[in-house]
Structure 1
Amino acid sequence: MVRFSNNLIGFLNIITLLLSIPILSGGIWLGRRASTDCEKFLQGPIIAIGVFLLLVSIVGIVGACCRNSCLLWIYLLVMFILIILLFCFTIFAFVVTNKGAGDAVSGRGFKEYRLGDYSNWLQKRMENSKNWRRIRSCIQDSDVCQSLQKNESFNQFVNNNLSPIQSGCCKPPTDCNFTYVNETYWNKPAGFTSSDIQDCNTWSNDQSALCYDCQSCRAGVLANIKNDWKKVAIVNIIFLIFLIIVYSIGCCAFRNNRKDNSYTGYNKAYP
């Protein structure tokens, strides 16, 4: 008789199996239509997650419903490793995003961001040219700067509550003292040759360049990552609790399998 814990593990893995199909299909679809670095970057992780969920679900279903102790042991081992990795990632996310915050600018409705305010680990990820090329591509594809073009007056613009990426990537730093023309077009003052602020020299009115290669743009991305990782870490805690519960149920199912197998073996030995 298949016990309650086996049935429950089987049911949960059927749900996971059904969930893995649209995830895997979405990754394959994205791979076929990918035309930018941003889309190609997303394709790999999505397919990997879909395949992982599919395989683990199949192992869990067969192990629980067919009372296969070997497969169920493999399932529990994978679950245990996943719990450890998820726990470590959650702690890591809180640690690396502990530093860094936007600086309020007098008379402005937005904050500005500096790369040096964030953890060294995050800074190195942003300074890696391969990583930044992909992130830059994603920012350009999202048209985050083009969405600012509302032909506002300067006073209207500076009172906007810009997102970290808009503040860091779509305009020059306030300390550059550039002349406002529109939201993404700023003139350098007459006689401007160089500045102590690197981003002032990096800024370009070319709409495909703007401040995408500025340190402030990298800092704006990190501000977004910090906010997102904090949210992900909270979700991970909830998911971690769920995984521990499933793992505990799986242990009960594994114990049931061993008891049933021992009982079957005993009956065969002593008919």
Structure 2
Amino acid sequence: MALNNYVGVAGINLVAALLSIPVIAAGIWLSTQVDSACVQLLKWPLIGLGVAVLAVGVAGFVGAFWRLPWLLLAYLVGMLLLVVALACLAVFVFVVTAGGASSGHAVPSRAFLEYDLEDFSGWLRGRVADDGRWEQIKTCLAATPVCSDVNHTYGASAQDFFSAHITPLQSGCCKPPTRCGYTFVTPIFWISPISASADPDCASWTNDQSQLCYSCSSCKAALLQDLRKQWRRADLILLVATVLLLAVYAFGCFAFRTAKTDELFRRYRQGHT
């Protein structure tokens, strides 16, 4: 293969390696979000696949730059498998975050929204709402400043709180559901109504600052809402990176085949001179 052909293929492989950066960055970004940090389902697949794409892309660059056809062939096979894996992950994330009420349910005289578990896919609910998993997630959430932040920001009056556009987590985990009829004192301290409710979420609420509504179904649903929003953003990055990587890979295959054809033609001419 001529030197300029090797350099061209090396450049293409370097571009493929660079396309791993947004995939890795999406995984790192998820780890900085409270919800995804407590539910590490998508973070590691993104980072793992991104690192694999980077490693295979660098291997392809090395194989082209130092003229190692066997390493280039390994690159072509490995990158194809990774592109398929990335595409499958992108489709999977889209499917499990699709459907249901994506924006929550409006509450009378409230600016914030509330959420129900039925709004989410069975797969997501199974990975979060299961009692065994939720105990660990609940402990993680309780250690974050999510509820103390809403108390400090909107604790001046009931009207300030009711007109605030709080986050799904703050709506579902830091206060009792509006339907329970609790009386506002602060965003994280409420007076129980005189008549008891059979609603499990209403009975789960407590003014204990380490408990609040972390055991409520509304908290689980709020977490899923945040996860769905974050996963969709990460999935968009994943989808774009996969399409670009597929285009670069196809171009690389074409360049590699062209270069091999040129080399065979050159050897043929040398053998007949």
Q: TM-score, structure 2 length as denominator?
A: 0.78
- What CA deviation, in whole Å up to 9, does each residue of 1:7-26 have, x standing for no partner? 32243266479x69x98xx9
Unaligned runs of 5+ in 2: none
**3-state DSSP of counterpart to 2:221:** helix
How far apart, CA to CA, are the structure 2 residues paired with 1:51 and 1:85?
13
Of residues 219, 237, 240 in structure 2, which corresponds to 1:238?
Answer: 240
Aligned 1:140-219 pairs, distance under 5 A? 140-150=142-152, 151-190=155-194, 192=196, 195-219=197-221
Aligned 1:32-47 pairs, distance under 5 A? 38=37
- What CA deviation, in whole Å up to 9, does each residue of 1:73-115 have, x standing for no partner? 2222222222222222332333222223211011110111011
Q: Extract structure 1 runs of 4+ deviating beyond 6 A.
A: 263-271
RMSD of Structure 2 on Structure 1 (CA):
3.4
**3-state DSSP of counterpart to 1:149:** helix
- Which segment is superposed worse, 174-183 or 55-64? 55-64
How far apart, CA to CA, are the structure 2 residues paired with 1:134 and 1:56?
36
How far apart, CA to CA, are the structure 2 residues paired with 1:203 and 1:106?
20
Q: Which residue number corresponds to residue 121 of structure 1?
A: 123
- Which segment is superposed worse, 176-185 or 1-10? 1-10
Q: Which residue identity is paired with 2:78?
A: V
**3-state DSSP of counterpart to 2:4:** coil
Of residues 204, 224, 227 in structure 1, which corresponds to 2:226?
Answer: 224
8 Å contact from structure 1 (residues 5, 249) kept in 2: no
8 Å contact from structure 1 (residues 69, 254) kept in 2: no
- Which segment is superposed worse, 209-218 or 38-47? 38-47
Structure 1 residue 185: Cα displacement: 0.9
Q: Which residue number corresponds to residue 61 of structure 1?
A: 61
Q: How many aligned positions are there? A: 256
8 Å contact from structure 1 (residues 69, 257) kept in 2: no
Q: Which residue identity is paired with 1:83?
A: V
**3-state DSSP of counterpart to 2:251:** helix
Q: Which residue number corresponds to residue 9 of structure 1?
A: 12
Q: Which residue identity is paired with 2:86?
A: L
Q: Which residue number corresponds to residue 85 of structure 2?
A: 85
**3-state DSSP of counterpart to 1:213:** coil
8 Å contact from structure 2 (residues 16, 249) kept in 1: no
8 Å contact from structure 2 (residues 183, 193) kept in 1: yes
Structure 1 residue 216: Cα displacement: 0.6
8 Å contact from structure 2 (residues 99, 120) kept in 1: yes
Q: TM-score, structure 1 length as denominator?
A: 0.79
- Which segment is superposed worse, 164-173 or 206-215? 206-215
